[in-house]
Amino acid sequence: MNDSHILSDDDRYLAMLGDRVRGERSRRGMTRKILSNYSKVSERYLAQLESGRGNVSIILLRQIAAAMHVPLAELVQDGPDQPVEMALILEQLADLSVGDLADLHRHLRQRYTPEAAQNGRIALIGLRGAGKSTLGRALAKRLELPFVQLNKEIETAAGMKLEEIFDLLGQAAFRRLERQSLEHTIETHARAVIETGGGLVTEAGTYERLLSSCYTVWLQASPEEHMTRVAAQGDQRPMAGNREAMADLHRILEGRESLYRKADAVLDTTRRTIGVSLDDLVAMAPEACKNPS
């Protein structure tokens, strides 16, 4: 096959974007001239965009979306169009309060996913330094369960260290490997203690899979203890420029708190011994983790 006939990812995306703009315009009964008048974007430019040859700026695309009264996110999304039902549901969700959305999310988990507490997997989430490795390993030993460190599974799957994955393959590749490793862990371990990476909660699909397949516990600690524990592990990088590092840590915790709170339980390990925290963690564990059927 001639290489000239092979579309790049960018070419495919522009073609999809052009089809989507043309389709939305047609559904609204708008000619290209009408859209041009409302959006203040030339007909020639619109023709190039709809044919997949227009590398449109985000500002112009925002004008086009506004003229058709279409959310900009719907035009620029990568992948197939959403089903009509999804669009209608999103319109309904837009009017709900944060509390109502939280209630709905709990209802959907109960209605459409297995009860996580009924299986024998317990997953620990939280930032590095909260005690996931230490308490996870101790909990697994106490309950006589396998201890799975998801980041180690990712390294095994990739054949390289985490730093190399990020440097050579990038964030997107790491997140794909993370999801694949979680799926493999779920498939191969009906009962286990799973230590997750701190950023897993930021990937909605992966986090939802974790929530629906494991009993999750957020190991919480103060920013100061996070920093001290990481340094005690021999990593002095967080202490470099301590004031900025602490400010960054506060921002990360604030940004992720609402995500971490989706866990089934929360355990604050601040100023608590390993033994006391472990006893509390054992008490939190579902019966399926303690007594195999």
Q: How confident is residue 5, by pLDDT bands cut at 50, 70 and 90?
A: low
The reply to whether the predicted model has a pTM over 0.75 is: no
Is residue 75 scored above 60 in pLDDT? yes
The domains located in the chain, with CATH, are 3-81 (1.10.260.40), 112-290 (3.40.50.300)
Position 64 scores a pLDDT of 94
Per DSSP, the residues of 138-206 read HHHHHHT--EEEHHHHHHHHHTS-HHHIIIII-HHHHHHHHHHHHHHHHHH-SEEEEE--TTGGGSHHH
Q: How many CB atoms lie within 10 A of CB 166?
A: 13
Q: What is the pLDDT of residue 118?
A: 55
Q: Which residue has the higher pLDDT, 270 or 234?
A: 270
Residue with tokens 């009408």: 34
Q: Which phi and psi (to 5°) does residue 193 adopt?
A: -105, 125
DSSP state of 238: G
- % the chain with pLDDT above 90: 48
Provide the token pair at 111. Answer: 């209605």
pLDDT in tens, 165-203: 988 988 889 999 999 999 999 999 999 999 999 999 999
CA quadruple 68, 73, 76, 81: dihedral positive or negative?
negative
Averaged confidence pLDDT in the chain: 86
pLDDT tens digits along 9-41: 888 899 999 999 999 898 888 899 999 999 999
Query: Span 52-79, mean pLDDT?
Result: 88
Q: Report which of 145, 211, 160 is spatially closest to residue 182, judged by C-alpha positions.
A: 211
pLDDT at 158: 93
Confidence (pLDDT) at 10: 86
Alpha-helix runs per DSSP H in the chain: 9-27, 32-39, 43-50, 58-68, 72-76, 84-93, 98-112, 132-143, 150-158, 162-164, 171-188, 204-213, 223-232, 242-260, 274-284, 287-290
Segment among 21-35, 79-93, 171-185, 239-253 with least mean pLDDT = 239-253
- Given this model, what pLDDT does residue 223 score? 83
pLDDT exceeds 80 at position 108: no
In this predicted structure, the answer to whether residue 2 has a pLDDT above a threshold of 50 is no
The mean-pLDDT minimum among 69-73, 80-84, 112-116 falls in 112-116
* Across 44-48, average pLDDT: 93
